[in-house]
Amino acid sequence: MKSFTLLLVILVFLLPVSVFSECTCDKSEVEGGKNRAEALKYKLVAIATILIAGGIGVAVPVLSKTFPSFSPENDIFFMIKAFAAGVILATGMVHVLPDAFESLTSPCLNENPWGFPFSGFVAMLSAIGTLMVDTFATSYYQRSHFCKAKPVSGDEEKVGDHQAHVHLHTHATHGHAHGSTLSSNEESSSSALIRHRVVSQVLEMGIVVHSVVIGISLGASESPKTIKPLVAALTFHQLFEGMGLGGCISQATFKAKTITVMAVFFALTTPIGVAIGLGISNIYDENSTTALIVEGIFNSASAGILVYMALVDLLAADFMNPRLQNNSRLQFGANFSLLLGAGCMSLLAKWA
């Protein structure tokens, strides 16, 4: 967990450094006109509202003990998670990936090699890479968890974190063997818990990458006409994306310290991106070659992560759950919530 958090921190602070470059394209953004004083006002509003929305979104599912309706054991949790998954899917497909295509097909870039569809290619590699990380991390945690249930020698019982494990110990003179077993329910529960923990961490990584990119873009812009719709769109986006991430975190049952770190880190990423963009607005040019390439690559990668996570780890896992499959009303509600979340987030693309 510490190494994962360190990686995210490095990404946050290295990204803006890589986009410091001189403009190499005559095409500059003049839409809506530049007004630094008015733009600064909207940026400060954006930092506050996005921070609050993200904090509320990620906190509601995490505080499910305080709000029983949002508990993973309640049917409404499936519908809320489906809505949030729809938001995340639309974010990747309708918001982030088109921006990546726009950046990497810009006339500011040379036809060779950028004539190749790198956006789709990087998104594909990112989705495959996420699958590999998902698989390797899950298998690693499963091995490290169950190796603690290995046989012990003598008549001593190992008492620790795995008190639910059933240990079989007898003397050799009785013709029995030493060993340890887990009931199928316990093993299934442990595997599900491991999956939830891996999913929550990988999902946060994908969310953080694109949140920093879009935060920097907003913070560096000096056009109030561009910033105003972005503030509203990002506020709703952070709220519902936070609910999706918070749902995964609550199912992972991390320790309080880990939950706090993950929730705070999510809530802070976009405001930090806005603050960084605000700080580099004088030297940042979104039409420079370096900025277009960096934004395009990062957006493509985050789009691949978000689409994979939404479809595979959030939707497929819940929609194939016997509890939902055997309940027609819950199935209808989850499908409706999915379409509503994806539709609402897609509609925001009209303004942002």
Report yes or no on 151 lying in a domain. no
Determine the Cα–Cα distance for residues 291 and 9; give it in Å rounded to an integer: 20
Least confident of 146-150, 244-248, 281-285: 146-150
Residue 148's pLDDT is 61
Q: Mean pLDDT over residues 79-86, rounded?
A: 87
| pLDDT level of residue 67 (50, 70, 90 thresholds) | low
* Long-range CB contacts for residues 112-119, cutoff 8 Å, separation at least 24: 118/296, 118/297, 118/300, 119/296, 119/299, 119/300
Least confident of 22-31, 36-45, 127-136: 22-31
Asked if residue 337 has pLDDT above 90, the reply is yes
Report yes or no on 124 lying in a domain. yes
Determine the Cα–Cα distance for residues 76 and 82; give it in Å rounded to an integer: 10
**What are the beta bridge partners of residue 168?**
179
Residue 165's pLDDT is 46
Q: Mean pLDDT over residues 288-299, rounded?
A: 87
Computed over every residue of the chain, the mean pLDDT equals 77
Cβ burial of 198 (10 Å; 0-12, 13-18, 19+) is: buried
For the entire predicted model, the pTM comes to: 0.72
Is the sign of the CA dihedral 256, 191, 79, 244 positive or negative?
Answer: positive
| pLDDT level of residue 180 (50, 70, 90 thresholds) | very low
Report yes or no on 155 lying in a domain. no
DSSP conformational letter for 180: E
Residue 70's pLDDT is 64
Of residues 69 and 302, the one with the higher pLDDT is 302
The strand ranges marked E within the chain are 166-168, 179-181
Report yes or no on 14 lying in a domain. no
Residue 33's pLDDT is 58
Residue 119's pLDDT is 92
**Domain with 83 in it:** 46-63+75-108+119-146+188-351
Continuous H helices in 105-160 = 111-114, 118-146
Residue 172's pLDDT is 45
Q: What is the pLDDT of residues 83-100, one digit of tens each?
A: 888 988 998 899 889 989
Asked if residue 39 has pLDDT above 50, the reply is yes
Residue 149's pLDDT is 53
Report yes or no on 179 lying in a domain. no
Residue 334's pLDDT is 93
Q: Count how many domains the chain has.
A: 1
Residue 184's pLDDT is 56
Report yes or no on 172 lying in a domain. no
Report yes or no on 53 lying in a domain. yes
Least confident of 74-83, 172-181, 191-200: 172-181
Q: Is 165 helix (H, G, I), strand (E, B) or coil?
A: coil
Q: Determine if the peptide bond prior to 113 is cis (ω within 30°).
A: yes
Identify the top-confidence range among 161-165, 172-176, 265-269, 319-323.
265-269
| pLDDT level of residue 162 (50, 70, 90 thresholds) | very low
Residue 25's pLDDT is 58
Residue 65's pLDDT is 61
Report yes or no on 160 lying in a domain. no
Residue 61's pLDDT is 79
Q: Is 168 helix (H, G, I), strand (E, B) or coil?
A: strand
Residue 64's pLDDT is 67
